[in-house]
Amino acid sequence: MEQLDSIINTDSKTSSDDCTDEWEDEWEKVTPELSMPAYPPVQFVLFPRKGGWSSFPYPEIAALFAAQQGTIYYVSSRTAEEEELPTAIQVITLQEAEARLQEPNTAAVVAHPYWLIAVASLHPQVCIALLPEPVGDESSSPLWENSISRLVGIADLVGTSSETRYMKLLFQGSRAVWLGGEDSSPAGYIHHHGARVPLRDYELFFMHALQEVLAGKPDHITTLQSRMRADYYRQLRTKTGPHETISFLLSAYEYLLEDSRATTSLKESFIQAVINGRQDCVVSHYRFLSSIYARSGQIEEALQVFGISASNEQERHHYEQLCRWLEAGETSLVQAELLRINDDYGTALRILDELGGETARHWKFRIYQETECVESALALIHAIDIQDETSLRQYRQLSGTALALRGERHGAVRLFLETALENEDALSRIIELELLDHAVQQLLGEVP
């Protein structure tokens, strides 16, 4: 949801007393399981960010790994003393990490996106991404977002302290936990080495999500945390009255939960945006109503909203095309496309999976391209799709990216060079590989 970048503001606070019984019953079912992992001890291999242990973005989450009766390794070319590591964490080299990740019951924990190729090429059994906030000029670098997107594409569990990113992950269909919250009081406890350790609510969420991943169980935490966040914003909205940001965030969580109140909350947010003089509110707020309608099966209403919000010639042409498809009876395709337009990739993919057929395959390919799920996109390409120079070039670039992630560097560079003969932009992919190589050296502490 692109509009979240400019709408979201989570500075407002409320206490945990505002939480209702809507999600507490499920919470009570979750917490007793936390002290008894039902799997062998796990080795966690931490791929950190630059700056030693003091710069590790989530030390409290790393502490939870110790509670899994496992061993924690920290990948660095420096000593434990130089990294100022706790005694319970052991330093290993990148080469040693490669050997560890070939062993059973071992998980890679990636705390910086520039580890992307170094980690992906090791094919970890379990990959956990702890996305950090950008430092310095990282946020302005295309490499930053591209690396995060591809890292999310290979991760089994993603943690982030950004609620904006968290919601985008939920819309993408990722298994994610928001590592933040307004209440610092203990929400539960875990027993470790005979001690009763207090945990905040997001730590409990992450702990249980981690256990689900390690045990190969379905995701139950995403819905539970979404219910808690919806309840938080609902209570906050009761205190503040109609509010552009609060009402919008409430509608987004209600939408994810398939709560019929999402329509009312979204319309309230849009009205407040109009009152506040927001010039882009038809696109940033009102358009989301098309996704709410589409997900609930009100396709004609959804399409009408999209038509009203079409802000340029390209979007108006797209609207007319969708109208023709709807008249032709392609209801599911129109529904999936309206969801994709609103960045609800997860639901769009489920609809396309159920639909099947060649058109659905092509649209799924486009979604995987947009979300940087490289292997999933590549698996959908058939020989019949490569009919001209443009499609061949795109296939080579995608294949080159896949080879790079698999650790087949020479093959990736060869494909990028072949593509660069017709399109010099492909050279940027080779430069990207070199930038990531240098970034890994920095992350290891080998160069400044």
What is the spatial distance between Cα 160 and Cα 169, in angstroms, rounded to a whole number? Answer: 10
H helix or E strand, kind and range, residue 106: strand 106-110
What is the spatial distance between Cα 197 and Cα 193, in angstroms, rounded to a whole number? Answer: 10
Give the residues across from 75 on adjacent strands. Answer: 92
- pLDDT given for residue 8 in this prediction: 47
The least confident of 31-45, 232-246, 283-297 is 31-45
- pLDDT given for residue 430 in this prediction: 93
Tell me whether strands 195-199 and 188-192 are parallel, antiparallel or unpaired. Answer: antiparallel
Span 37-51, pLDDT tens digits: 556 789 999 999 999
- pLDDT given for residue 38 in this prediction: 52
Best-predicted range by mean pLDDT among 7-11, 33-37, 188-192? 188-192
Question: DSSP string of 426-445?
Answer: GHHHHHHHHHHHHHHHHHHT
Find, among 176, 139, 135, 110, the residue nearest to 5 by Cα.
Answer: 139
Amino acid 108 reads A
The answer on pLDDT for 36 being more than 50 is: no
In the structure, what pLDDT confidence band is assigned to residue 66 with cuts at 50, 70 and 90? confident
The least confident of 131-135, 194-198, 204-208, 258-262 is 194-198
In the structure, what pLDDT confidence band is assigned to residue 33 with cuts at 50, 70 and 90? very low
> Quick one: tokens of 212?
């689900």
Whole-prediction pTM: 0.90
The answer on pLDDT for 153 being more than 80 is: yes
Contacts of 52-57 spanning 24+ positions with Cβ under 8 A: 52/78, 52/82, 52/83, 52/84, 52/85, 53/83, 53/84, 53/85, 53/86, 53/89, 54/84, 56/111, 57/111, 57/130, 57/132, 57/133, 57/161
Instruction: Tell me the CA distances in angstroms from 213 to 37, 61, 127, 217, 402, one per residue in order.
Output: 12, 15, 10, 6, 24
